[in-house]
Structure 1
Amino acid sequence: MSPQDPTQMRLMAISRLAAGGRWRVEAMRSLSEGCLLWFTKGQGRITVAGQTRGYTAHNAIYIPPGVMHGFEVGPQVFGTAVFFGRGCPVTLPERALHLRIREVHAQQEVNVTLDMIQRELDSDTPGHDRAAQHHLGLLGVWLERQAAKGAAEAVQPDAARRLVARYTALMETEFRKGKGVGEIAAMLGVTATHLTRCCRLACARSAIDLLQDRRIFEARRLLAETDTPVGHIGASLGFASAAYFARAFQHLTGLSPSAFRRTQDAPATNRPN
């Protein structure tokens, strides 16, 4: 059940990210490291910092550490996810990016760079680790250049989207404390009604849906990857009681927390989405 070490840079096929259930990619979550999603085939929707957009082939999406996100991965979606690792020395963007790479040369350039990184990671020749880091640096430069090209076409978020981005950022620091939408809205200086209206405009979901999704994703992660008692998990996520946690979890997942944990040791074909 132990996750891969987030301090290490690694590449993974996007199709493999949902191997343990679609909840691992679709539910709202954040990472402690930067992540680049490079889609080469297929389409779907991705929500980053409370904003939902469609993605297609040759889209590059960079998600900084601590930024909430979730995305659809259908059976026809292919590409590569790059996890940069905590403390990565490569210069990376400070904000999330969604880049539509139209130039064939730029598409080929990133494909070759990713292939070279993977080749060095798989190698045992002297200096392969340094070579992988150098190629990763070139990936950072590619990302910076493509962001500069797309800046002129970027649409500035309106007030509703800016508020939702602030909400998801604040939620990331508060979701374990048991605060409701009303309390978080008050911290943002708006009403819960206004916040929910803005969330629906930005991503077609309510403020409470985003908050519950974030909490339940964290619950599923802890159930799948740790041996922490169910009651302790609920308390750590701000649920008032173990019974309330169990009801909320089952309402959103269709399984009790204990039943969900058991499925994580079952064959992949029996795992819930």
Structure 2
Amino acid sequence: MVPSDHLSPAPLDPTGDIETITLGSLAPDPRWRRPVLLDRELVVLTTSGHGYTEVDFRPLPCRPGTLLRVRPGQVLRCALPELDATVVRWHPEALRGLDVALDEGPTWFQLAGEDEDAVINEVTQLTVDSRRHRDTPAGRSLLRHQLTVLLLRLTMLPSDGRRQESRPEEVTFRRFCREVERGYQHSRRVEDYADRLGCSVRTLTRACLAVTGRSAKQVVDERVALQASRLLAATDEPIAQIGRQLGFSEATNFGRFFTREVGVSPGSFRAARDRPGPGPVIRPRPPVDTQTDIHQG
């Protein structure tokens, strides 16, 4: 099993340090009453216990051998103290120049057999070397390459049931999602994204319907609603300010939009964030979910 007695939070190097910590040290509140808005990449390996971890308000079952891959900007909340886990945390800049695709792989995977042994060995060695060598240039280089190996191994996990980009509609949908990720705070108009991609609104809508069963406009609105939900749940920013960040000049317009997409008002959604157990489950599903389906190892 992964050693945990020496794990403790450590200051992050703004240039992109790599560290291993405990799951509980991610949240300022030991009871995890609120989701935590992440600013680092995470790999979370459950070592003991059974429970649920919420990633972007979606509860995911965890037990020994469960692996989570969580990205910056997502929100995380865990059922503690039922779970113990080792967390590998790093800034995306830490792997600049190395040949690894940071956006590949599922959010959730239940490891088993040789895959579980290999990942545990990688995380264990990274944990030990992080403690012993992280303050030396050679040690930092070693950690970068060890993390690269771990992430490459995760991309090679069994792919049964994963969505493959074999159809043109799926390729178009992925390109659309990348543009939405870059521009959702500034525009909710599908026409703007079609112009950027050099295609028609009809092409984008057909691609979105083929992959998700939802229109291109729904995909954009759901991404905006997800970001609003993240900020309402994990920060204390005023609701009107959150609306302005997402392109709403009037708080009433933001309130109507959020209520339509999520089913409750922004104020009600925020009030529910401190309730024990899973938080409010919102209807919006982010476009990135198409690459984070749950897989059984």
TM-score (norm 2): 0.58
Structure 2: how far apart are the matches of 1:128 and 1:79? 21
Distance 1:159 1:38, change over 3 A: farther
Distance 1:195 1:156, change over 3 A: closer
Structure 1: how far apart are the matches of 2:46 and 2:175? 27
Which amino acid counterpart does residue 258 of structure 1 have in structure 2?
Answer: G
Which amino acid counterpart does residue 187 of structure 1 have in structure 2?
Answer: R
| Corresponding position: 1:96 with 2:103 | yes
- 1:262 alignment partner, SS class: helix
Structure 2: how far apart are the matches of 1:106 and 1:120? 21
Q: Contact between 2:232 and 2:270, CA under 8 Å: does it hold in 1? A: yes
Which amino acid counterpart does residue 96 of structure 1 have in structure 2?
Answer: D
Structure 2: how far apart are the matches of 1:184 and 1:35? 30
Q: Contact between 2:205 and 2:216, CA under 8 Å: does it hold in 1? A: yes
- 1:177 alignment partner, SS class: coil
Q: Contact between 2:165 and 2:171, CA under 8 Å: does it hold in 1? A: no
| Corresponding position: 1:137 with 2:145 | yes
- Kindly state the Cα deviation for residue 234 of structure 1 after the two structures are TM-superposed: 0.8
Question: How far does the alpha carbon of each residue in 1:82-119 deviate from its partner, in whole angstroms, 9 at most, with x for none?
Answer: 44224214735136333899994343121122234456
Q: Percent identity?
A: 22
Which amino acid counterpart does residue 91 of structure 2 have in structure 1?
Answer: G
Which amino acid counterpart does residue 228 of structure 2 have in structure 1?
Answer: A
CA RMSD of aligned residues (A): 5.0
Distance 1:214 1:81, change over 3 A: farther
Distance 1:168 1:195, change over 3 A: same
Q: Contact between 2:208 and 2:216, CA under 8 Å: does it hold in 1? A: yes
TM-score (norm 1): 0.62
- 5+ residue gaps, structure 2, are 1-10, 56-63, 79-83, 282-297
2:93 aligned residue = 87
1:210 to 214, 219, 222: 219
Q: Contact between 2:44 and 2:86, CA under 8 Å: does it hold in 1? A: yes
Structure 2: how far apart are the matches of 1:209 and 1:176? 15
Structure 2: how far apart are the matches of 1:112 and 1:12? 17
- 5+ residue gaps, structure 1, are 47-56
Structure 2: how far apart are the matches of 1:157 and 1:12? 39
Which amino acid counterpart does residue 111 of structure 1 have in structure 2?
Answer: I
- Kindly state the Cα deviation for residue 134 of structure 1 after the two structures are TM-superposed: 3.9
Question: How far does the alpha carbon of each residue in 1:247-269 deviate from its partner, in whole angstroms, 9 at most, with x for none?
Answer: 121223333222322333x3424
Structure 2: how far apart are the matches of 1:133 and 1:226? 35
- 2:199 alignment partner, SS class: coil
Which amino acid counterpart does residue 190 of structure 2 have in structure 1?
Answer: V
1:233 aligned residue = 242
Which amino acid counterpart does residue 230 of structure 1 have in structure 2?
Answer: I
- Kindly state the Cα deviation for residue 175 of structure 1 after the two structures are TM-superposed: 0.5
2:7 aligned residue = none
Q: Contact between 1:117 and 1:132, CA under 8 Å: does it hold in 2? A: no
2:198 aligned residue = 189
Structure 2: how far apart are the matches of 1:6 and 1:165? 32
- Kindly state the Cα deviation for residue 228 of structure 1 after the two structures are TM-superposed: 2.5
- 1:88 alignment partner, SS class: helix
1:159 aligned residue = 168
2:184 aligned residue = 175
2:266 to 251, 257, 260: 257
Structure 2: how far apart are the matches of 1:236 and 1:205? 25
